[in-house]
Structure 1
């Protein structure tokens, strides 16, 4: 068991290491990118990576406070579902109107793995191997479809 401070330091160390590992990799458009704090350019749409004690996940979170608009964004993603899954080379889970860890209603498209821990350095290579191809594929997908979601140049 780790103290709160030790746990925080391990999380920070993992994300720093991941950021350094991903740093040299350009975006699909050839630009420098902050992979950990990915900016979609659309308010209320986020690409998130999270790693916990027993699992890790990567997701597209649609967090619009207006649930009808949130549903419209979700439906818009559904029109690109085949492209997304082809780009990722796998199928993801789709949840309309679920609750996030803060009790807020969001819609989420995600992939998770279990039996890994951010607090075990021996799992870090597995976590990096999980996150890296998926965040790169999400970026590739987003570079193709983002203008349909209102991203301006």
Structure 2
């Protein structure tokens, strides 16, 4: 097991190595939709690429999620066949958000032998998510277009 300092150091090395391996600017928080963001996540069991929908107004969150749901077949058929949709996803702090994500299991941030697989998963998954988003962003962004 790692000390807290060693774990922090390894996390920093992981993210630096990922940036070096795939030096590009990811969309992430720059969706131009307030509180709709793409995120990378990794721990000692899994890696995830996710789209979090977390406006304070619950009705806005539901509208954005329903727009994503209306595009579900396209996302699954053409971009990310393993994507999971969850309308009410509970964060550790109790906050409810909506989330669409893909996951890679059987890896660990703390096992450097896993890094290449995680990096590849991150790159392929986020690239597919971004291509999907760019193709449908006008529809997703516009709250006046009904689902």
State the TM-score bracket (shorter-chain normalisation): 0.7 to 0.9
Unmatched runs of 5 consecutive residues or more in structure 2: 143-147
Contact residue 44 and residue 62 of structure 1 kept, 8 A: yes
Counterparts in 2 of 1:140 and 1:80: CA distance versus 1, 3 Å: same
Matches within 5 A, 1:1-153: 1-23=1-23, 33-35=24-26, 37-150=28-141
Check conservation: 1:19, 1:35, Cα contact below 8 A. Answer: no
Q: Give ranges in structure 1 of 5+ residues lacking alignment.
A: 24-32
SS of corresponding position for 2:34: coil
CA distance in 2, matches of 1:34, 1:49: 13
CA RMSD of aligned residues (A): 1.8
SS in 2 for 1:130: helix
- How many pairs are equivalent? 142
Contact kept in structure 1, 2:107 and 2:114, CA below 8 Å = yes
Query: Match for residue 28 of structure 1?
Result: none
The alignment's TM-score, normalised by the length of structure 1, stands at 0.84
Per the TM alignment, residue 68 of structure 1 is displaced from its structure 2 partner at its CA by 1.5
> Deviation above 4 Å: which 4+ runs of structure 1?
none
